[in-house]
Amino acid sequence: MVRPANTAADRELIEAARDVIRRNYDVDTERHTVGAAVRTASGEVFVGVNVYSLHGSCAEFIALGSAIAAGHRDFVSLASVRGAEGDELLPPCGNCRQMLLDYAPDCEVIVPGESGAIAVTATDLLPYAYRSE
Catalytic residues, which ones? Answer: 60
Largest CA distance in the chain: 42
Length of the chain: 133
Opening angle at CA 91, ends 5 and 29, nearest 5: 125
Check the CA dihedral 83-45-111-54 and report its sign: positive
Opening angle at CA 123, ends 121 and 126, nearest 5: 115
* Closest-CA residue to 45 (of 78, 84, 92, 5): 78
Cα gap 30→34, rounded to integer Å = 10
